[in-house]
Amino acid sequence: MLRFPRLLLPAVLAATLTSALPADEGMWLLTAPPRAQIKERYGFEVTDPWLEHIRLSSMRFNVGGSGSFVSADGLVITNHHVGFDAIQKLSTEQRNLVRDGFHAKAAGDEMKCVDLELNMLVSIEDVTARVNAAVPEKAEADASNLARRKVMAEIEKESLEKTGFRSDVVTLYQGGAYHLYRYKRFTDVRLVFAPEQTIAAFGGDPDNFEYPRYCLDFSLFRVYEDGKPYKPQHFLKWSKDGAADGELTFVFGNPGNTSRLLTLPELDFVRRLSVPMQKATLKARESLLISWSARSAENARRAKDVLLGIQNGRKVRDGNAAALYDPVFWQAKVKGESDFRSRLAQSPEKFGDALAAFDKIAEAQKRVNEIFPRFRMIEQGVGFASDSFGYARLLLRAAEERAKPNGERLREYGDAGKASFEQRLFSEQPIHEDLEIVLLSDSLQYFAEQFGPDDALVLKVLDGKSPRNRAAELINTTKVRDLAVRKQLYEGGQAAVDAAKDPLIEVARILDPEARSVRKEWESLSETKKQAQGALARARFALEGASNYPDATFTLRLSYGAVKGYEENGQQIPPFSTYAGLYERNTKQNNREPFDLPTIWQKAKTKVNMKTPFNLVTTHDIIGGNSGSPLVNRAGEFVGIIFDGNLQSLSGDYAYDDRQGRALSVHSSGIIEALDKVYGATAIVAELRNGKR
Amino acid sequence: MLRFPRLLLPAVLAATLTSALPADEGMWLLTAPPRAQIKERYGFEVTDPWLEHIRLSSMRFNVGGSGSFVSADGLVITNHHVGFDAIQKLSTEQRNLVRDGFHAKAAGDEMKCVDLELNMLVSIEDVTARVNAAVPEKAEADASNLARRKVMAEIEKESLEKTGFRSDVVTLYQGGAYHLYRYKRFTDVRLVFAPEQTIAAFGGDPDNFEYPRYCLDFSLFRVYEDGKPYKPQHFLKWSKDGAADGELTFVFGNPGNTSRLLTLPELDFVRRLSVPMQKATLKARESLLISWSARSAENARRAKDVLLGIQNGRKVRDGNAAALYDPVFWQAKVKGESDFRSRLAQSPEKFGDALAAFDKIAEAQKRVNEIFPRFRMIEQGVGFASDSFGYARLLLRAAEERAKPNGERLREYGDAGKASFEQRLFSEQPIHEDLEIVLLSDSLQYFAEQFGPDDALVLKVLDGKSPRNRAAELINTTKVRDLAVRKQLYEGGQAAVDAAKDPLIEVARILDPEARSVRKEWESLSETKKQAQGALARARFALEGASNYPDATFTLRLSYGAVKGYEENGQQIPPFSTYAGLYERNTKQNNREPFDLPTIWQKAKTKVNMKTPFNLVTTHDIIGGNSGSPLVNRAGEFVGIIFDGNLQSLSGDYAYDDRQGRALSVHSSGIIEALDKVYGATAIVAELRNGKR
């Protein structure tokens, strides 16, 4: 599924895109929609009223997702996996809404969510001039930053006071433009309907990112105001037949973040070092946990969540690698950068800074490549995978950092993050000693293999023992898994931590000089790159203005595209899956997890129309954060809901590619068929069809 | 389980061991047993009659395993996994003896095996002088080899004609000594008893190499001669109580091969390059196949065998790596080589060759390290994993090689191997196109990541496409999976292969110049190392004679040791597992595969004595080939049967290590309890207890 955010380690951005966009590319600003392209490709005229209608029908979920109004009585549709957090928080031991689903048959049954916030984008204002005016022209980077942050905060405060709306100044084009987004906030949100998780995420990890799919990945909420259902001025009418093959559709949603503007040396680092190393680590960890899980049911239970996360990550990295090693994909990137450079070179007097920025980035990146393996192993802790080591390092560093003035501390030990830091350090989550030993011994072995058995740090850490025996010794003798000990050491500060002579804290101490030094260099290189990228972004915006789209910022964007199958391994993959396909897959898998169906679905088998479309693929340019975005037709009607991309769409972090990459939606007719024939949710069906209760 | 043979890629050997052996180390020649060590450590006197008794009770299985006579009526016991091949060949669709087991209740029920050969070692003769005398002193390496092979063949032929016994001249100490082993051959071998595979290999892959274990890994055969049960002069009496904690016991069996004498640069290559690369490849392949298997039951069925092999290999490599990165283990190796060098240096006039050999090996190894990644990827085909590519290369090379004189061809295309080559090329095993695409695309991706996207060979192979698309294209368009096409191309020779323009054969052609050249260099370096190792081995034998044991040669050896638990992760692992433990593990795993029990075992739960020992661990020095070896007490009685080593014993390829490494056996009382209480095999129980029918 589309998880939010899908961050790559080096979250750095730069401007390289050519303005000649292929096909249906782009996550467009609503203030600068690609009217000409849409008109040219699809003969459709994007009008202001049409845009406003959909903008005011769209919703942003604060948990990291999108949604839309689908009735005049404030009914909102999103993904099940976007609503998941709220659904889980409403569950109790006796009432497992995640497993069993939920259906409010009467208005009074709707359940108020704990901390769900929805935002409706009411206006957008360009405040670039005011922001830039507040920044002194010749200021140092730090002073500029400070001045910029100050004026942005002022604008937000003023706006909030004046309008009462949530007001966010959004940095677009990495500083090329600043827009003030005003949102109407909804905090009384109630759960109306959720299917069972087994059908919402049918096929689980094995089918994750695959297609054809059969996921009923939607849930329904109702927005209330003053204790009554909110009556939105705008909502999406439910389409009678849903999306058809080849049809032009639109996605309105909040894509989280992309790294489309990385320069070639940065992207080359991703493909040669970062992604292959992450792949190797994830697959080794997966093998380890699968093997350990097979030893007992209890082991399997303990490792399950971690393993699922690893498997999701492994699919994402495999997808990234597939894109980055595709010569066609890469050549497009090369051409993009080369074209951009040529355009800059035409006005060297104007773009001198930008042209120099390329070299600055390349130089910094060279050093990043060199230090990355040690940064990753020692500071990011890949060589010390275990919760116990995590605690040991937090305790060691907290003692040192808290003794310093706030401004001089490592970021995560600052006063601002104190509460969340302490929440993390004093977590009461269960830690399993046996799993800790398995994880630490495997990662110490990896540490020794990568750096070599004679590496000075390896020798010090292993202390003359094998990785396996050293891990067992450390995990068995450390006291940091004891909450009381953590509290005592944290409160006792440096003296207490030193006196403890805890073996795992001592290992963290052995690592710390190099860990701190490599981190310092890493952060300084990142800052150098960021400033150079700023110069590129400004140059690019100067050339293109808003004729191109900015990297994703978790704000409302418009994508356009068509319902369209694709070819894979020489086979044509049809655009729609159907109910027949769902039941067939369930039968072929002998109803085994994660291909099992809830009883109510088994019973409904004779009632549903097997030809009803279930999921579909489209060419839209989407990314994590787009989950729950409505798929809208020319008439502005709801024809489906985005819930995932296929494996080939995982190139989307770096570039749009529609040769095989596709966005996945649940078809609107598939939703109605389930509500009607499977769940007998006649009132909801009527509300969706009529656009009101 | 102990698979035979467990070969490391570079099967090269050299002499470095110190003569000061720790603990119970050694796979000793029966002609030079470590009488003094055993006497000193355990106070037991190894006498010639005692040795002869056990030698004549021991059996070698031609499928790669060991066994022993346990009754005067020719009953032989071995492992279930050693007997597996024979048991499977006796199975039919209607009569699945692997799944259901077998029990011959009457003599007439015993089933004759298809092609099983058992060997009893009747005599050993030192023929070193005659072999050496036949080799001219100043001959070139090739001429020496030829002369040596000739005299060995003469000795074998003479002996066979004179005695009628199978006669093998065995090269010991890499040429330090030559012994003539004479075997009585048995080819009429009949299956008497086999348990169900689920209990023989209880715990499957998850428990493989783990301890405590619960495997009833034995089977019973009877040797016939002239249609009647053979009456051996010697057999092992069944011990009344079996092995006890701390008790001295002996293992008589045929260890397959070891690499204990590698020099440090060779071993350093194994730990820094070979093993880590193999680990990474195995784990990535495992992740791929698990993920693919999860997509459908049919996928799982197709990938099962390959996956099990990969998982076994992954455990072995993890075990190798754990040993090689253990500083204690490594320091012992360093000291061993250093001591040996010092002793050589004391007589430089005598050992000049050997002293120079160290440098020769180091120099050759340096180049091996450089070419290994490309040798492995291109010539060994790690970058092209698929049966289709295998066929493509065989066809391409067969056409070229068969046109050459026999002596100039690559080894596998020689006339001698023609039959087995054609059997391989014309195999009718099913190949699944979808699995082929998955495997080839993953390995092409690995190829591109390892060599880099700009590597000239990568660019040529991918032909402007992504690894995934290129793999699909190649697998979908090649014709080599069609047996008729393979026959036609093979018979048509070079002209037919060239004319075919088969896309996958063309890929093999792209690779071939570099593949051949790196292979040529690899083989030449291996030969250089082998000759240098010969010099070291001769020097070592000159110093130590038979006071040390030679590397394993799949001939009868004696190991000694004690029943002894060990400490792991801070916990004491007891030496014995019990029936109670078996049933507990089965229950905790909810009887799910591979922890399920046959119905007959579930029914017997109330009948068996839960305290009966099931498996046990001992300190013996064993390796693949020792499977089925009897565990014998001072009285020469059968007290158990070797079937595996634990994870920590996987260091055994390179050195003996008894800190945690243990040999695993089935306890003799555990066998009787099963035969008696579970299977009601009263006749067999009586035969074992009485030593006759």
- Taking contacts as CB-CB distances below 8 angstroms, the residues of chain A near B296 are 588-589
Do residues B652 and B621 touch, judged by C-beta distance below 8 A? yes
Q: What percent of chain B has pLDDT over 70?
A: 97
Q: What is the pLDDT of residues A347-384, one digit of tens each?
A: 999 999 999 999 999 999 999 999 999 999 999 999 99
Token code pair at residue B63:
């499928």
Q: Residue A301: its pLDDT value, please?
A: 84
Structure ipTM? 0.87
HSE-CB for A173 with a 13 A CA cutoff: 23
* pLDDT tens digits for range A571-588: 999 999 999 999 999 999
What's the whole-number average pLDDT of chain B?
93
pLDDT digits (tens, 9 = 90+) for B65-114: 999 999 999 999 999 999 999 998 899 888 999 999 999 999 999 999 98
Which helix (DSSP H) or strand (DSSP E) does residue B98 occupy?
A: helix B97-100
- State mean pLDDT over B206-230: 96
Nearest Cα to Cα of residue B509 among B404, B402, B397, B410: B397
The answer on pLDDT for A647 being more than 60 is yes
Output the CA–CA distances (angstroms, integers) from residue B144 to A96, B140, B533, in the order listed: 80, 6, 16
Res. B140: pLDDT tops 80: no
pLDDT reported for residue A16: 31
Q: Say yes or no to pLDDT of B692 above 80.
A: yes
The reply to whether residue A287 touches residue B286, judged by beta carbons under 8 angstroms, is yes
Q: For A117-126, how does the pLDDT look when each residue is reduced to its tens digit (9 = 90+)?
A: 999 999 999 9
Q: Phi and psi of B662, rounded to 5°?
A: -140, 150
Tell me the chain B residues in contact with residue A272 when contact means C-beta distances shorter than 8 Å: 449, 452-453
Q: Does residue A142 surpass a pLDDT of 80?
A: no
Looking at residue A92, its pLDDT comes to: 86
pLDDT at residue B4, as a whole number: 54
Closest CB to A449 among B276, B290, B468? B276
Report the distance separating Cα B305 and Cα B307, nearest Å: 5
d(CA B674, CA B434): 44
Do residues A282 and A306 touch, judged by C-beta distance below 8 A?
A: no
Residue B163, pLDDT score: 96
Q: Is residue B255 predicted with pLDDT exceeding 50?
A: yes
Asked if B283 and A287 come within 8 Å (Cβ–Cβ), the reply is yes
At A378 the pLDDT is 97
SS (H, E, C) A72-88: CCCEEEECHHHHHHHHH
Separation in Å, CA of A295 to nearest CA in chain B: 5
pLDDT the model gives residue A2? 62
Buried b (16+ CB within 10 A) or exposed e, B161-183: eeeebbbbbbbbbbbbbbbbbbb
Give the SS3 label for residue A619. coil
For the ranges A34-48, A129-143, B289-303, the lowest mean pLDDT is seen at A129-143
> What contacts 24+ positions apart, CB below 8 Å, involve B328-336?
B328/A464, B328/A465, B328/A466, B328/B659, B329/A466, B329/B651, B329/B655, B329/B657, B330/A453, B332/B22, B332/B655, B333/B16, B333/B264, B333/B267, B333/B654, B333/B655, B334/B264, B335/B18, B336/B16, B336/B17, B336/B18
Taking each helix axis from N to C end, the angle separating B433-451 and B387-402, rounded to the nearest 10 degrees, works out to 80
Residue B206 pLDDT > 80, yes or no? yes
pLDDT at residue A19 above 50? no
Predicted confidence at residue A3, as pLDDT, reads: 59
Q: Which amino acid is at A576?
A: F
Q: What are the residues whose beta carbons fall under 8 Å from the beta carbon of A256, sequence distance 6 or more?
A: A4, A5, A6, A64, A552, A554, A623, A624, A625, A626
Q: What's the average model confidence in pLDDT over B33-37?
A: 95
Res A361: pLDDT: 97
Position A4 scores a pLDDT of: 54
Contact by Cβ (8 Å): A679, A103: yes
| CA distance to partner chain B, nearest, from residue A633 (Å) | 33
Alpha-carbon gap, residue B207 to A591, rounded angstroms = 28
Q: Where are the alpha helices (DSSP H) in A407-564?
A: 418-425, 433-451, 456-462, 467-477, 483-500, 503-544
- Which whole number is the average pLDDT over B399-406? 94
Which of B272, B280, B589 lies closest to A452 in CB terms? Answer: B272
Which residues is A38 bridged to in the sheet?
none
Q: What is the largest CA-CA distance in chain B?
A: 75
Check A287 against B314: CB less than 8 A apart: yes
Task: Report phi then psi at A34, rounded to 5.
Answer: -80, 65
Are B104 and B161 in contact by the 8 Å Cβ rule? The answer is no
| Beta carbons of B663 and B2 less than 8 angstroms apart | no
Q: Do B465 and A205 touch (CB under 8 A)?
A: no
CB-based burial label for A161 (10 Å; 0-12, 13-18, 19+):
exposed
Which 8-state DSSP code applies to residue A376?
A: I
Considering CB atoms only, which of A286, A453, A464 is closest to B287? A286
Q: Is the pLDDT of residue B285 over 70?
A: yes
At A428 the pLDDT is 85
Report d(CA A621, CA A629) in Å as an integer: 12
Task: Supply the pTM of this predicted model.
Answer: 0.87
What are the DSSP calls for A499-525, one per residue? HH--HHHHHHHHHHHHHHHHHHHHHHH
Tell me which residue in B272, B314, B322 faces A466 most closely, judged by beta carbons: B322
Binary contact (B272, A322; C-beta < 8 A): no
| Option in B282, B326, B437 nearest A466 (CB) | B326
- Give, as one character, the DSSP assignment of residue B114: S
Please give the pLDDT value at position B69: 98
Q: How far does B369 lie from chain A, in Å, by closest CA?
A: 15
Tens digits of residue pLDDT in B549-582: 999 999 999 999 999 999 998 899 999 999 999 9
Average pLDDT estimate for A198-216: 95
Asked if the Cβ–Cβ distance from A291 to B311 is below 8 Å, we say yes
Cα separation, A391 vs A270, whole angstroms: 30
* CB–CB contact A434 B328 (8 Å): no
Contact B497, B397 (CB under 8 A): no
Q: What is the pLDDT of residue B6?
A: 36
Rounded Cα distance, B261 and A44, in Å: 77
Residue of A nearest to B291 (CA): A206
Exposure b/e, A178-199, CB count within 10 A at least 16 = b: bbbbbbbebebbbbbbbbbbbb
Q: Does the beta-carbon distance from B283 to A279 stay under 8 Å?
A: no
Residue A590: CB atoms within 10 A of its CB come to 9
The pLDDT assigned to B272 comes to 97
pLDDT computed for residue A193 by the predictor:
98
Q: How many inter-chain contacts (A to B, CB under 8 Å) are there?
A: 138
Q: Do residues A389 and A381 make contact, with C-beta atoms less than 8 angstroms apart?
A: yes
CB-based contact A445 B290, cutoff 8 Å: no
Please say if the pLDDT value at position B8 is more than 70.
no
Q: Hey, CA dihedral for B290, B292, B297, B301, is it positive or negative?
A: negative
Pairwise CA distance, residues A359 & A55, whole Å:
41
- DSSP letter, residue A392: H
Confidence of residue B242 (pLDDT cuts 50, 70, 90): very high
**A568–B453 C-beta distance less than 8 A:** no
Instruction: Give the pLDDT band of residue A11 (cuts 50, 70, 90).
Output: very low
Q: Phi/psi class of residue B272: alpha, beta or left (left: φ > 0; alpha: ψ in -120 to 50)?
A: alpha
Distance from CA of B449 to the nearest CA of A (A): 7
- Measured between beta carbons, the chain A residues lying within 8 angstroms of B291 are 206, 311, 314-315
Please choose, from the candidates A9, A10, A173, A8, the residue with its C-alpha nearest in 3D space to the C-alpha of residue A526: A10
Cis check for the bond before A34: say yes or no (omega within 30 of 0): no
Q: Strand runs (DSSP E) across A93-247, as ranges?
A: 102-103, 111-112, 118-126, 166-172, 177-186, 188-194, 219-225, 228-229
Q: pLDDT (tens digit, 9 = 90+) per residue, B518-556?
A: 999 999 999 899 889 888 988 999 999 889 999 999 999
Residue A184 has what pLDDT?
Answer: 97
Query: What phi and psi, each to the nearest 5 degrees, are found at residue A325?
Result: -100, 15
Tens digits of residue pLDDT in B143-153: 888 899 899 99
Confidence at residue A260, expressed as pLDDT on a 0 to 100 scale: 87
pLDDT in tens, B457-515: 999 999 999 999 999 999 999 999 999 999 999 999 999 999 999 999 999 999 999 99
| Residue B15 predicted with pLDDT over 70 | no
